Structures are given as structure tokens and as C-alpha cells.
Amino acid sequence: MPLRPCFLSHILLEEQGDQQVIFITEKDGARRIPIVIGALEALAIDRAVKAQKFPRPLTHDLFIDLLVAVGWTCREIRVVDLKEGTFFAELVLAGPDDAEAVLDCRPSDAIALMVRMPGTPLLVAEQVLAEAGS
């Protein structure tokens, strides 16, 4: 499955709506995919992008703290499929002794983690960009 480097280009927050939209754009291209996400997920992404800090760790912060505590890192985020209007993502984790784990996740959670881990690559399957990209 060919993967293309992308980045989070926009977060569309509507205060009165219950569905928010994030946009992922190709780094070396013009295609952009919109992904509809929930309000809480959008808020988690937006707060991290704006570097807002909280006195206690939020769920995505806790997950990263857990990774660090057990000696794992997030190697990359992948948006790998689109079925019946639903996007599918994966976290690719790297651990001690070249261990690797690939976890199925929602794109919103993957992006919420990614924005808290600067430098983590975001890759999107070519077939997803071809189908959903504009």
C-alpha cells in the first residue's frame, strides 16, 4: 500500500455543531481530505495545536506518558482506508529491541496524539487520497 506524506492543514470548529472537520493535505501535492470528527476530539486537537496546558493530563497526554514510561515511541500515524464514508487509521509504535506494534484507531485520536508529538509523520494511503481527496 503506497503511503503519501501529509500534514494537518486545518481544523474547522463550529460552536453550534456536533460534528467538526479536520483537513489533511498532501505535502507534495494538492489533494486534501476532510474528515468529520466529534466535538470533543476536535477540541483535543485544537487545544494541543494551541499548546494549551492543563494541570492534569488529558486522555491523549496520558497515552503519550504511558508510551514514554514503557520505553515506546510513535513511529508514524497512517490513514489507511475509507469504507462507507468512515476513515480508518493506525498508530505504528516502536519499542525496545526493534519491537513494533500497529494499532487500529480512529483518525481523530491519531491526529490528537500526533499534534502532541512533534515530528511524528502523518502518512495517508494513496487509495484514500484518490478516493476522498479534492
Range 122-128 average pLDDT: 97
For 10-63, what is each residue's pLDDT tens digit?
998 877 767 799 999 999 988 999 999 988 888 889 989 998 888 888 899 999
Q: What is the pLDDT of residues 3-18, one digit of tens each?
A: 999 999 999 887 776 7
First vs last C-alpha separation in the chain: 20
Q: pLDDT value at position 1?
A: 77
* Alpha carbons 44 and 92: distance in angstroms, whole number: 20
pLDDT of residue 2: 95
The DSSP call for residue 50 is T
Q: What is the pTM of this model?
A: 0.91
Query: Any idea what the CATH number is for the domain that residue 89 is in?
Result: 3.10.690.10
Find the domain containing 62 and state its range: 3-132
Q: How many domains does the chain have?
A: 1
CB 85 within 8 Å of CB 99? no
